[in-house]
Amino acid sequence: MNPLERLTVLAQAVLDACVTILNTTTALAPTSQFLTPARPAFDCEFVAVWVSRLSEDNTSPLNITSTKRRNHFGNVILATFVIYVVRCAPMIQGSSPPTDAAKTASAATVQEDGWALWNGIRDVQDTLFDDCLGVYFDGGVPIEERGGYVGWQFTFRASIEGYVP
């Protein structure tokens, strides 16, 4: 693999894992599945992954945070991965609001997506990333209903290897 492709290959592996995990749910994975360079525009029924940040963490037991000293103690590159799974929310039809049953069914689908991804990503993290370098879960938050869309946003940071150009 070309070292410049490493980040994209890892993001694709995260997306593939999400699709596999979501295919174990009642609603299955959305058919729209893609990598995106930034926060995606919301549309109905998709799963997307993007890298929202590249940063450093040091390896010094002294917790040296000054970047000028990191070369003495080493550092770790952290890639922040963001996962979106978005579903269609029940909408007003004519002058009729969505039924309680439709809202409850939508909630069940979204909660199942979230629970499956939370457990599934944690289960496969060692196959996606180097277990010795570390993976840090920053959590998942529901996407509030807006414009007919609901779902989840998960964020985690994973240590990745760099390269020398």
| pLDDT, tens only, 79-133 | 999 999 999 999 988 889 999 999 999 999 999 999 999 999 989 988 888 766 6
Q: What is the Cα–Cα distance from 135 to 99, expressed in whole angstroms?
A: 41
Q: Does 67 score more than 80 pLDDT? A: no
pLDDT of residue 60: 56
**Bridge partner list, 107:** none
Q: What is the pLDDT of residue 76?
A: 82
pLDDT band of 71, cuts 50, 70, 90: low
Q: CATH code at 81?
A: 3.30.70
**pTM tops 0.85:** yes
Output the six-digit token pair for 140.
Answer: 């998942």
106-121 pLDDT, tens digit per residue, is 999 999 999 999 999 9
Tokens of 85: 């799974």
pLDDT, tens only, 19-48: 999 999 999 999 999 999 999 999 889 999
The pLDDT, as a whole number, for residue 72 is 54
Angstrom distance (rounded) from CA 50 to CA 82: 5
**Residue numbers of the domain that contains 85:** 3-160
- The domain tally of the chain equals 1
Asked if residue 43 belongs to a domain, the reply is yes
Is residue 52 a contact partner of residue 82, using CB atoms and an 8 Å limit? yes
Measured in Å, how far apart are the chain's first and last C-alpha atoms? 14
Q: Does 134 reside within a domain?
A: yes
Is residue 19 in some structural domain? yes
Question: Where does residue 19 rank: exposed (0-12), middle (13-18), buried (19+ CB within 10 A)?
Answer: middle
Is the residue at 165 inside a domain? no
DSSP secondary structure, 84-146, as one string:
EEEEEPP--BTTBPPPHHHHHHHHHHHHHHHHHHHHHHHHHHHHHS-TTT-EEEEEEEEEEEE
